[in-house]
Amino acid sequence: MNLAFASYLTGLAFLSVPILLHLLRLKPHTVKMFPSFYLLTRKIVKRQRRNSLLKYLVLLCRCAALIFFCLAFAWPYMDDITLEPERALVVIQDASFSTATPQVRSALKLALQQELNSVSATAPALGAVVTDQVSWSGEFTSDRDVLEAFFGLHESSQMTSGFLTALYQADSRLGTIPAKYKRITIITDRQALPWRRLPSYEFLRHADEIRVLPLPPVPPRRNAAVISAKVETPYTVPGAELELTVRAANFNDTAIPCTLKVFLEDELKDTRETVLLSHSEKTESFKLKAPSGEPIALGGKVIMETKTDDLELDNTRYFAVNPLKAPDIYLTPRGNGYDFTSTALFDGAVRELPLDRKTLAELPKKPAILIVRDCAELGSDAAAGLDAALENGSGIVLVYRDSRDMRALFKHFGIEIGKNTIRQTELEMVNFDHPIFREYLEVSVAAWFDISFFNVPEFSPPRNARIIAAFNGDRPAAMEMNRGNGKLIVLAAPIEPNHTNFQTYGAFLPFWRELVQYCSSNARPEDSFLTASAPLRLPEGELKRDKAGVFKLGDRAYCINVNTGESDLTPIPDAFNYNAIIIPHNSEPEHERKLDRLAGSKDYKMLMLVLLLAFALVETLLSNRTVN
């Protein structure tokens, strides 16, 4: 039995009051009997003896009432091992794939066993495993076997991890158990990545200590990874040549040689030797020939082989290749003269799809490419129709032609057109980092600056526009904006002889092909995801993401890859102060800390008050019967 406020027991000094009153009523030592009462003595002896006993009972009740009155204020409570142990422990195990190296895994297992050996009835523990989410073992327990079985089911994963959510939840759970000492132990490889999201201020209220195991130093590790593998070319025809871009990273202090092997449907397609410089990335391109016959979903992988790598999981990168139907291309009708744009986009096997008011209203929900050169045929609802197309993921190319309807359409998209025109100009800037122009770097870029333009307007682009080409004087020639789920490309000059000689240059044809391909990139459904605990709901069914690989659902292939942010094994400094995020407990008022400790304990304050009232009532009844 413990007393929360033992100072109230000083009130027991008032026990002297009823005792003194009792002593004052004792009989004198010398008793003088009156003769007239002598004959009555024998009759009252029995009654006097009874009254003497009642007087002692009254004294006992008064003293007991005072005792229980003081005890009620002193707040007696009973320690309960399950509610208030000497120590409470939360053990958090990092299950990210960076902990999967053999030397680290054995060190983590040994550290976990040492922590579990300290679990007892007076030191219950709670277990947690951290990946992209936090899994808990249940409630605080002193059963070591239960905790060991829980951690045995979650030894490692293919996911990354972070400690912010786990620490918040661990601190909250420690607040539910009034232990005298509370500790959070984190079993991890001391990688810096899981700690980067932690705030710089104190936020843990209930923990007394954060302990990180194993203790430093941690054995140094070396790692390199394939961090990206992406098929850039749309797969639209049988036997197509697909361009695969592979990025590899070296997280070591020294350069390492490695071999990249590319597989398509488990068939080795290409092998390349390369050297990765220290703490750098390298990009390699491969050409893959798709199978002949009807295009079907394909799965592939890139494997990096190197002798200086302790973490193998991120040496494999998966990719998916899904057939893509060529997008429908719609053009607004054009006036007299030769149609250079139509010639650049279509061959004899493909006919032009006119874009007029009726077609715009009946456009299917699937994304398409819309090339607007004159909006007179689209009617007054052209802006609303184009907005709907952009929302569906379509790509729109606006080619300026001076008319009232075109000016109104440009204004709808936030583009102001000046009154003056530029009589003759050339290109001063072309953004060759943009996907439309990137391929020209491998051929020639000089010809772009020889193209002439005539009678072009001066645009004032909106703030969200990206200028990808400009005339002399930094005047916009081509700009891009993201609207809804689609792309909007704006060209400042019509493709007509009286406005440009661009159609006479060799870059004209590939420009339009690259432009259409870039605008259709939104039409390619996502098929690459990172490992995670929660599955994905897709039209073809449920896609589990707990392991990396290529998975086929219906007629599509999906690739799951590990998060290569976890590949950087840079450790957190040994001098890092983990306890800096704990709010100092001396900032909490003393009475609040005491009340928090008493919360949930078995107190007997009400019992003391009940006993007080009981003895007071008995004392009242007895004292009225002690009169001689």
106-115, 337-346, 418-427: least confidently modelled range? 337-346
Q: Which amino acid is at 276?
A: L
Burial class (CB in 10 A: 0-12, 13-18, 19+), 358: exposed
Helices 16-24/41-74 angle, 10° precision: 170
Mean pLDDT of all residues in 98-117: 91
Residue range 176-199: mean pLDDT, rounded:
92
Which is more confident, 353 or 430?
Answer: 430
Q: Which residues pair with 317 in a beta bridge?
A: 302
Position 596 pLDDT exceeds 70? no
What single DSSP character describes residue 11?
G
**Mean pLDDT within 458-484:** 91
What's the mean pLDDT in 394-420? Answer: 89
Helices (H), 521-586: none
CB proximity list for 462: less than 8 A, separation 6 or greater: 413, 414, 415, 481
329, 359 contact by CB (below 8 A)? no
- Cα-Cα-Cα-Cα torsion 558, 559, 563, 567, nearest 10 degrees, comes to 180
* Residue with the two structure tokens 């993201």: 482
CB 231 within 8 A of CB 259: no
Residue 592 and residue 585: Cα distance in Å, rounded?
Answer: 11
Residue of 79, 77, 68, 78 whose CA lies nearest to 9: 68
Which of 626, 602, 567, 546 has its CA nearest to residue 252? 567
Q: What is the rounded average pLDDT of the residues 250-279?
A: 95
Share of the chain above pLDDT 70, in %: 88
CA 577 to chain centre: 24
SS3 (DSSP) at 595 = helix
| All residues at 6 or more sequence positions from 458 whose CB lies less than 8 Å from its CB, including other chains | 417, 418, 420, 421, 422, 475
- The set of residues, in sequence order, having a beta carbon less than 8 Å from that of 159 and lying 6+ positions away, is 95, 96, 97, 131, 132, 531, 532, 533, 546, 562, 563
Tell me what the mean pLDDT of segment 200-212 comes to.
Answer: 93
Choose between 185 and 155: higher pLDDT.
Answer: 185
Q: Is the peptide bond before 217 cis (omega within 30 degrees of 0)?
A: yes
Question: What is the per-residue pLDDT for 268?
Answer: 96
| pLDDT above 80: residue 598 | no
pLDDT digits (tens, 9 = 90+) for 297-316: 999 999 999 988 999 999 99
Looking at every residue in the chain, the average pLDDT score rounds to: 85
Residue 366: predicted pLDDT: 72
Domains of the chain in sequence order: 2-78+605-623 (no CATH), 87-220+572-598 (3.40.50.410), 224-324+558-567 (2.60.40.10), 329-523 (3.40.50.880)
Higher pLDDT, 314 or 11: 314
Q: In what order do the strands lie in the sheet with 256-264?
A: 267-276, 256-264, 298-305, 316-321
Q: Are 354 and 372 in contact (CB under 8 A)?
A: no
572 vs 27, which has greater pLDDT? 572
Residue of 524, 550, 546 lying closest to 263 (CA atoms): 550
Overall average pLDDT of the 280-306 stretch: 94
In the predicted structure, residue 7 carries a pLDDT above the cut 60 = yes
Q: How many CA atoms lie within 13 A of 335 on its CB side?
A: 7
Do 239 and 614 contact (CB within 8 A), yes or no? no
- Is the pLDDT confidence value at 193 over 70? yes
Question: Mean pLDDT across the stretch 565-573?
Answer: 92
* Lowest mean pLDDT segment, chosen from 96-105, 164-173, 379-388, 449-458: 379-388
Mean pLDDT across 431-454: 88
- Highest mean pLDDT out of 130-139, 191-200, 373-382: 130-139
Between 586 and 536, name the one with better pLDDT.
Answer: 536
Q: What is the pLDDT of residues 25-78, one digit of tens each?
A: 655 556 556 555 555 555 555 555 556 777 778 888 888 888 888 888 887 776
Contacts of 366 (CB under 8 A, 6+ apart): 392, 523
